């Protein structure tokens, strides 16, 4: 091989010079937000538009707008020269309206002075600058109530619970929210306007007046079935069912379940409850039994039979409702007419639990009453009493027919 024709190769390849990152100590200065000064506004163009480049007509025009009454609402507008398109970004709509837990800041490094200034950005938002045609309403389709307002302490707690709370805490928060919907001021807005379009249901009004005068649970006199005669949804409200699952949960324990603390009426029907195959039906009936139990215990706690209900815990939502419904006085004794109303609620629920044909012997024992007064109250509710093999049953025929109310004459 001819050595003259051989290409000479360098023995050592050239090494690329690597830039060394030099560390530099700087003094960090954090600039606090001032109410009278607008901090830097940060935005980006998802369309790829570069405002720094010269597009033939000079630099782009930047303007920041702030709402007068809501200073946290900001709007950034970038107008390129000689263009029919402008770029608009807001702090209260679109991407910026999404909640986030990060906090943004802008750092300005001065190498000569050796300082690093950390400045908060406007609204703690990064504006997404979307192209809009000039002269066309950019936010006509935005909802009017799209505002960026300070979260209340209650809202912050609810958000933290939904993110970091346990499953039990989240379910508890949902129940509280459902119960507070009626008290929400937003739901009360424009109430006068809404009421103008409401047609008065005279039959329902007469039914309500009759319900108050008769001192019985809510009912529908025009109902064609016993299930519709007394309105279960107005006796046990929607938000209360979740607090009545004690019997249903106890049934899941099988033979270990203990129902000795429950009234005789409930204990005598546990076996029938166990035989129900439909879980939704079983759960509903269990909740009705639980509601009967709480009503009886509440009556005992506010009467001379207080020892029979010692240690029984009624859910706060039901205790508050019972106290208002039955007008508990400072002496913690129930007025006679409210005791009668409470017993009527119990008797109506016994009809639901026994498919509207109930033997009232055991419930009379639980209420510490004789058979005759209980029978009279069933008749007062529109029931008919029948006898079969020395056992008296209360049945509910429809449509409801009540005995005439007798008004007592005043003694002269």
Query: In sequence order, what DSSP letters do the residues of 314-337 get, joined into one string?
Result: --HHHHHHHHHHTT--TTS---HH
Could you read off the pLDDT of 175-213 as tens digits, one per residue? 777 766 555 555 555 555 555 555 555 554 455 444 556
DSSP 3-state of 146: coil
DSSP 130: E
Confidence band of 142 (pLDDT split at 50, 70, 90): very low
242 and 342 together in one domain: yes
Could you read off the pLDDT of 277-288 as tens digits, one per residue? 999 999 999 999
362 and 231 together in one domain: yes
DSSP 3-state of 295: helix
Average pLDDT, the chain: 79
pTM of the model: 0.51
Integer Cα distance of 244 and 289 in angstroms: 9
Integer Cα distance of 299 and 173 in angstroms: 30
Confidence check: pLDDT of 337 > 80: yes
Could you read off the pLDDT of 74-103 as tens digits, one per residue? 888 888 887 888 888 888 777 777 766 677
Domain with 91 in it: 27-133
Give the residue, 46 or 289, on which the prediction is more confident.
289
Q: Which helix (H) or strand (E) holds 386?
A: strand 384-388
| Integer Rg of the chain from CA | 37
Confidence band of 145 (pLDDT split at 50, 70, 90): very low
Confidence check: pLDDT of 262 > 90: yes
Does a structural domain hold residue 195?
no
The answer to whether 42 and 89 have CB atoms below 8 angstroms apart is no
321 and 231 together in one domain: yes
43 phi/psi in degrees, rounded to 5: -145, 165
Tokens of 387: 């006898």
pLDDT score of 208: 47
230 and 353 together in one domain: yes
Confidence band of 141 (pLDDT split at 50, 70, 90): very low
Could you read off the pLDDT of 154-168 as tens digits, one per residue? 777 787 887 778 888
118 and 260 together in one domain: no
Does a structural domain hold residue 124?
yes
Q: How many domains does the chain have?
A: 2
Give the residue, 102 or 19, on which the prediction is more confident.
102
Does a structural domain hold residue 8?
no
Confidence check: pLDDT of 13 > 50: yes
């Amino acid at each position: 091989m001819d050595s003259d024709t051989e290409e000479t190769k360098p023995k050592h390849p050239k090494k690329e010079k690597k830039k060394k990152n030099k560390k530099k100590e700087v003094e960090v200065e954090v600039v606090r937000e001032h109410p009278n000064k607008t901090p830097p506004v940060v935005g980006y163009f998802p369309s790829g538009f570069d405002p720094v480049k010269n597009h033939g007509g000079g630099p782009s025009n930047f303007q920041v707008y702030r709402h007068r009454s809501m200073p946290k609402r900001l709007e950034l507008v970038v107008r390129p020269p000689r263009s029919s398109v402008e770029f608009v970004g807001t702090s209260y709509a679109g991407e910026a309206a999404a909640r986030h837990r990060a906090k943004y800041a802008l750092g300005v490094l001065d190498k000569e002075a050796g300082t690093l200034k950390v400045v908060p950005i406007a609204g703690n938002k990064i504006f997404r600058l979307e192209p809009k045609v000039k002269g066309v309403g950019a936010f006509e389709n935005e909802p009017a109530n799209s505002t960026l307002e300070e979260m209340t302490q209650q809202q912050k707690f609810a958000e933290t619970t939904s993110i970091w709370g346990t499953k039990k805490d989240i379910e508890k928060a949902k129940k509280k929210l459902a119960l507070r919907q009626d008290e929400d001021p937003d739901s009360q807005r424009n109430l006068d306007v809404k009421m103008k379009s409401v047609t008065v249901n005279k039959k329902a009004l007469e039914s309500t007046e009759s319900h108050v005068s008769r001192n019985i649970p809510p009912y529908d006199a025009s109902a064609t079935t016993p299930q519709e005669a007394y309105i279960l949804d107005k006796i046990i409200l929607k938000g209360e069912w979740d607090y009545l699952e004690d019997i249903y949960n106890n049934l899941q324990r099988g033979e270990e379940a203990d129902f000795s603390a429950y009234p005789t009426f409930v204990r005598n029907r546990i076996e029938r409850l166990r035989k129900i195959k439909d879980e939704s039906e079983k759960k509903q009936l269990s909740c009705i039994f639980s509601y009967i139990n709480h009503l009886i215990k509440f009556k005992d706690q506010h009467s001379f039979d207080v020892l029979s209900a010692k240690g029984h815990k009624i859910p706060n939502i039901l205790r508050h409702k019972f106290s208002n419904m039955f007008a508990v006085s400072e002496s913690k004794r129930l007025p006679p007419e409210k005791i009668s109303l409470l017993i009527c609620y119990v008797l109506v629920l016994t009809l639901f639990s026994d498919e509207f044909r109930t033997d009232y012997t055991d419930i009379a024992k639980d209420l510490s009453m004789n058979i005759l007064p209980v029978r009279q109250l069933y008749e007062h509710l529109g029931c008919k009493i029948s006898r079969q093999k020395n056992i008296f049953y209360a049945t509910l025929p429809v449509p409801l027919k009540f005995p005439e109310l007798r008004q007592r004459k005043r003694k002269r």
